[in-house]
């Protein structure tokens, strides 16, 4: 039956389906196990988005890069640099919030442009280029300041802490007052980015050529696609998204310090892989990456609700889950391979 | 003139030319900046000096780079778990030595603890190897698992503490053995390199790894067990990470699961790339990777000597790395070449006119 389902959906959507089913199963398990701690409240679900808004943006960008067959490990450092720059500009240089945000987004674009040029036109391995990018951005963070700068800019904090109440999904508290769940603007940014990139990948010529380039560069070239320009555009867009992820991350943390967001890029890659993106390129879906992020968030929520488990267990559980997904993918891929052989 | 040109072409054709040039440039800049750079003195019966320091500090990186080179050559992928695996190996050794409390009494013999640590490293490597070779998972994704979990596992072993071994003998491996003026890690690195070279050259294993790396399918068709070779390569990388872990923990006679071998995997991959090896697999040069590792350490040490803080170090490193890989980029050479050609054609055209 599973095989039939897979044949109907195609390996791509089948993996996405598994991810979604697993997420729902995990969540229901959480609701049952932690029913006394109100795990079932809608707010707990929304908190997954609130605490991972930055990661959603980064994972979406990462998915796009992975689909081209490349990789970008500079994202975590970019987030740190963006946070630090925002904090430094607003606190030490008294630049307004909006110009500061525009500046960091521009820097992200330039960063992506340089990396993209090196990768697409000079054909240097993406891993090495973005490794250098990672070193550079992390180092620049320290060059800007080695202090912990917290943001006190009013406009920025107003946006960061603006609670947007949803008109549904509330619960009645002990005093009999209806409490509605809320989200922050960061979540809205994350969702908008997700929708835009989903649209681009699915319905635009640029998006389809990303898949083509990742699937087989040679064929894409022979089809008359401009492979180099497509790659460049992807890295520029990803640079922008990395800076945006930094801004969204900063909305949550309201500050910058050198060691911030270490290992963020690996979380983004893990989310994409859990969501069914292949690192070899050509296959992937931003929706899957969203669920990858949500699964990681759910595990973290479990561990906070549990209370006694230490934070390093999060990493072990995430890794075990990653292992599970990867092995599942490989089994699926290999059965597909065998079927192709037999026909 | 043409003779000079052929000589130049011969030189640049030599595969170690660029890695050596990079190292030479780093060293020459150092010599200009710090005239005492090549100065070596003997204090308290041990050698001192920048060069010794570079060689000493680069030992772990050389060992990791040796394992990484074979991984890259054999599977066309990278092992990003080596830093975390060294932490695991270090944690295993120290935990089996002193238990979950810092102490100066060994619970089991030192040699046995080292062996356990190395076995731990090899087990991690074998796990990676199984995923990559048997399940055909892309190397980076497969090793991402231990990259994420490795430090967690090390934390579980040490129960979240930083464990110390307060015994003089434990420091020998990462520092000096009394009476010998050369730091011990250098000997370990030389030993690892020598044994690896011996095995690769005396048996056909080196050739096999290259063959598998260039085309695993055709390697299988000519009768090579590609799966086994890739598995072995990853296990070896785990062993190398274990050895590096021993040195790292011995240097500071403690295990800090969060920081032992942190970012070492990146430096190791970088060493392989700077050494002129393609990260796509196939042909490899162990000597190149070793030179790459020394270059990275020379760069780090010299930047420290120029009073760059540890936090800011990555900026300079990034610039140098980009510079080096651009130098080696075939695409850039072609672009420059065609630009020069165009120029000369235009010049010739003008002459004719």
Mean predicted confidence (pLDDT) in B147-169: 87
The band of B199, judged by pLDDT with boundaries at 50, 70 and 90, is very high
pLDDT at res. A12? 66
Pairing of strands A149-150, A255-256: antiparallel
The percentage of chain B sitting over the pLDDT mark of 70, rounded to a whole number, equals 98
For residue range B71-98, what is the model confidence (pLDDT) as tens digits? 999 988 889 999 999 999 999 999 998 8
Q: Judge whether residue A58 has pLDDT over 50.
A: yes
pLDDT at res. A334? 61
Please list the residues that pair with B103 across neighbouring strands: B165
What is the 3 state secondary structure string of B269-333?
Answer: HHHHHHCCCCCCCCCCCHHHHHHHHHHHHHHHHHHHHCCCCCCCHHHHHHHHHHHHHHHHCHHHH
Q: Judge whether residue A342 has pLDDT over 50.
A: no
Beta carbons of B314 and A320 less than 8 Å apart: no
Question: What are the CA-CA distances from residue A230 to residues A69, A127, A132, A206, A259 (Å)?
Answer: 12, 18, 22, 7, 33
Q: Is the dihedral of CA B185, B187, B192, B193 positive or negative?
A: positive
Joined tokens for residue B115: 């062996």
Q: ipTM value of the model?
A: 0.79
CB pairs under 8 A between A and B: 137
pLDDT at res. A336? 55
Query: For residue A7, is it within any domain?
Result: no
The band of A9, judged by pLDDT with boundaries at 50, 70 and 90, is low
Q: What's the mean pLDDT when you consider all of chain A?
A: 87
Beta carbons of B270 and A128 less than 8 Å apart: yes
Query: For residue A8, is it within any domain?
Result: no
Q: Judge whether residue A280 has pLDDT over 50.
A: yes
Beta carbons of A326 and B131 less than 8 Å apart: yes
Contacts of B326 in chain A (CB under 8 A): 118, 122, 124
Contacts of B136 in chain A (CB under 8 A): 330, 333-334
Determine whether A99 is exposed, middle or buried from the number of CB atoms within 10 Å of its CB (0-12, 13-18, 19+).
exposed
Q: Judge whether residue B196 has pLDDT over 60.
A: yes
Query: For residue A104, is it within any domain?
Result: yes
Query: For residue A249, is it within any domain?
Result: yes
Mean predicted confidence (pLDDT) in B323-338: 79
Query: Which residue, among B309, B315, B334, would best test binding to A if mutated, counting the most A CBs under 10 Å from its CB?
Result: B315
In this structure, of A10-19, A185-194, B108-117, B289-298, the range with the lowest mean pLDDT score is A10-19
Contacts of B151 in chain A (CB under 8 A): 312, 315
The percentage of chain B sitting over the pLDDT mark of 90, rounded to a whole number, equals 35
Of the spans A322-326, B70-74, B265-269, which averages the highest pLDDT?
B70-74
What is the 3 state secondary structure string of chain A?
Answer: CHHHHHHHHHHHHHHHHHHHHHHHHHHHHHHHHCHHHCCCCHHHHHHHHHHHHHHHHHHHHHHHHHHCCCCCCCHHHHHHHHHHHHHHHHHCCCCCHHHHHHHHHHHHHHHHHHHHHHHHHCCCCHHHHHHHHHHHHHHHHHHHCCCCEECCCHHHHHHHCCCEECCCCCEECCCCCEECCEECHHHHHHHHHHHHHHHHHHHCHHHHHHHHHHHCHHHHHHCCCCHHHHHHHHHHHHHHHHHHHHHHHHHHHCEECCCCCCCHHHHHHHHHHHCCCCCCCCCCCHHHHHHHHHHHHHHHHHHHHHCCCCHHHHHHHHHHHHHHHHHHHHHHHHHHHHHHHHC
Question: Residue A158: which domain range?
Answer: 15-24+39-336
Contacts of B137 in chain A (CB under 8 A): 326-327, 329-330
Query: For residue A43, is it within any domain?
Result: yes
In this structure, of A211-225, A319-333, B116-130, the range with the lowest mean pLDDT score is A319-333
The band of A241, judged by pLDDT with boundaries at 50, 70 and 90, is very high
Nearest by Cα to B163 from B57, B60, B252: B252
Task: Classify residue B168 by its DSSP letter.
Answer: G
The band of A3, judged by pLDDT with boundaries at 50, 70 and 90, is low
Q: Judge whether residue A13 has pLDDT over 80.
A: no
Contacts of A123 in chain B (CB under 8 A): 329-331
d(CA B19, CA B17): 6
pLDDT at res. A249? 93
CB atoms within 10 A of CB A340: 8
Q: Based on the structure, what is the number of domains in chain A?
A: 1
Nearest by Cα to B68 from B203, B212, B265: B265
Alpha-helical (H) ranges within chain B are: 2-13, 17-33, 50-75, 82-98, 110-129, 139-158, 184-202, 205-214, 216-221, 226-251, 264-274, 286-305, 313-328, 330-352
For residue range B147-157, what is the model confidence (pLDDT) as tens digits? 888 998 999 99
Q: Judge whether residue B335 has pLDDT over 70.
A: yes
Q: Judge whether residue A343 has pLDDT over 70.
A: no
pLDDT at res. B102? 76
Mean predicted confidence (pLDDT) in A228-251: 95
Chain A, 48 to 107: residues with Cβ < 8 Å from chain B are 71
Give phi and psi for B163, each to the nearest 5. -95, 135
Task: Classify domain B18-307 at the CATH class level.
Answer: mainly alpha
Q: Judge whether residue A14 has pLDDT over 80.
A: no
Does residue A334 sit at the B interface (CB-CB below 8 Å)?
yes
- Report the Cα B336 to chain-centroid distance in Å: 31
| Cβ atoms of A172 and A33 closer than 8 Å | no
Pairing of strands A182-183, B46-48: unpaired
The band of B117, judged by pLDDT with boundaries at 50, 70 and 90, is very high
Residue A312: left (phi > 0), alpha (psi -120 to 50), or beta? alpha
Query: For residue A294, is it within any domain?
Result: yes
Q: Judge whether residue A270 has pLDDT over 70.
A: yes
Query: For residue A247, is it within any domain?
Result: yes
Give phi and psi for B48, each to the nearest 5. -125, 150
Beta carbons of B329 and A124 less than 8 Å apart: yes
In this structure, of A258-262, B110-114, B199-203, B233-237, the range with the lowest mean pLDDT score is A258-262
| Cβ atoms of A240 and A70 closer than 8 Å | no
Query: Which residue, among B79, B87, B311, would best test binding to A if mutated, counting the most A CBs under 10 Å from its CB?
Result: B311
Nearest by Cα to B68 from B54, B85, B56: B85
Determine whether A252 is exposed, middle or buried from the number of CB atoms within 10 Å of its CB (0-12, 13-18, 19+).
middle
d(CA B65, CA B55): 14
Instruction: Read off the CATH number of the domain in which A219 is found.
Output: 1.10.3470
Report the residue of chain A nearest B152, measured CA to CA: A312
Instruction: Give the closest of B140, B266, B312 to A143, CB-based.
Output: B312
């Amino acid at each position: 039956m599973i095989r039939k389902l897979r044949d109907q959906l195609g390996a791509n959507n089948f993996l996405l389906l598994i991810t979604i089913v697993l997420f729902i199963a995990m969540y229901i398990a959480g609701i049952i196990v932690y029913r006394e701690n109100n795990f079932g409240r809608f707010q707990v679900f929304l908190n997954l988005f609130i605490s991972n808004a930055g990661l959603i943006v980064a994972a979406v960008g990462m998915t796009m890069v992975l689909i081209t067959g490349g990789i970008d490990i500079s994202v975590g450092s970019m987030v740190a640099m963006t946070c630090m720059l925002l904090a430094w500009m607003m606190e030490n240089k008294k630049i307004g919030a909006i110009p500061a945000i525009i500046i960091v987004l521009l820097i992200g674009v330039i960063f992506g442009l340089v990396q993209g040029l090196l990768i697409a036109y000079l054909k240097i391995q993406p891993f090495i280029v973005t490794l250098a990018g990672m070193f550079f951005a992390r180092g620049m963070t320290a060059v800007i300041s080695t202090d912990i700068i917290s943001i006190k800019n009013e406009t920025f904090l107003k946006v960061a802490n603006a609670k947007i109440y949803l008109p549904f999904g509330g619960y009645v508290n002990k005093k009999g007052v209806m409490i509605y769940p809320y989200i922050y603007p960061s979540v809205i940014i994350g969702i908008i980015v997700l929708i835009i990139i989903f649209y681009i990948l699915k319905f635009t010529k640029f998006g389809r050529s990303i898949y083509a380039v990742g699937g087989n560069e040679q064929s894409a070239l022979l089809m008359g696609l401009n492979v180099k320009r497509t790659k460049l555009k992807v890295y520029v867009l990803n640079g922008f998204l990395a800076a945006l992820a930094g801004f969204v991350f900063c909305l949550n943390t309201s500050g910058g310090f050198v060691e911030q967001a270490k290992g963020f890029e690996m979380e983004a890659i893990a989310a994409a892989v859990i969501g069914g993106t292949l690192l070899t390129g050509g296959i992937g879906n931003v929706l899957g990456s969203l669920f990858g992020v949500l699964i990681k968030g759910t595990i973290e929520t479990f561990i906070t609700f549990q209370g006694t488990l230490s934070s390093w267990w999060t990493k072990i559980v995430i890794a075990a889950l990653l292992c599970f997904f990867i092995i599942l993918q490989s089994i699926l891929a290999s059965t597909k391979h065998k079927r192709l052989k037999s026909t | 003139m043409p003779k000079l040109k052929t000589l130049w072409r011969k030189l640049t054709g030599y595969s170690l030319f660029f890695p050596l040039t990079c190292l030479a440039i780093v060293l020459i800049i150092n010599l200009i900046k710090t005239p005492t750079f090549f100065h070596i003195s003997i204090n308290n019966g041990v050698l001192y000096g920048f060069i010794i320091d570079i060689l000493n500090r680069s030992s772990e990186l050389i060992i990791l780079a040796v394992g990484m080179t074979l991984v890259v050559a054999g599977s066309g992928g990278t092992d990003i778990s080596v830093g975390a695996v060294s932490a695991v190996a270090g944690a295993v050794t120290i935990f089996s030595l002193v238990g979950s409390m810092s102490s100066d009494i060994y619970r089991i013999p030192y040699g046995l603890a080292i062996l356990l640590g190395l076995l731990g490293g090899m087990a991690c490597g074998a796990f990676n190897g199984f995923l990559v070779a048997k399940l055909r998972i892309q190397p980076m994704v497969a090793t991402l698992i231990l990259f994420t979990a490795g430090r967690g596992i090390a934390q579980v072993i040490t129960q979240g503490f930083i464990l110390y071994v307060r015994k003089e003998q434990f420091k020998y491996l990462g520092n000096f053995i009394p009476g010998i003026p050369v730091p011990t890690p250098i000997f370990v690195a030389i030993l690892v390199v020598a044994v690896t070279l011996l095995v690769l050259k005396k048996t056909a294993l080196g050739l096999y790894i290259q063959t598998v790396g260039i085309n695993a399918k055709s390697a299988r068709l000519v009768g090579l067990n590609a799966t086994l070779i890739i598995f072995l390569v990853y296990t070896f990388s785990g062993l190398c990470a274990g050895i590096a872990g021993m040195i790292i923990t011995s240097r500071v006679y403690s295990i800090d699961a969060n920081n032992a071998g942190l970012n070492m995997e990146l430096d190791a991959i970088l060493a392989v790339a700077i050494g002129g090896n393609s990260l796509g697999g196939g042909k490899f040069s162990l000597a190149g990777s070793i030179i790459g590792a020394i270059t990275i350490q020379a760069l780090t040490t010299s930047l420290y000597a120029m009073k760059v803080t540890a936090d800011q170090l990555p900026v300079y490193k990034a610039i140098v790395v980009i510079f080096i890989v651009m130098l080696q980029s075939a695409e850039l050479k072609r672009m420059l070449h065609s630009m020069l050609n165009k120029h000369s054609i235009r010049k010739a055209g003008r002459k004719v006119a």
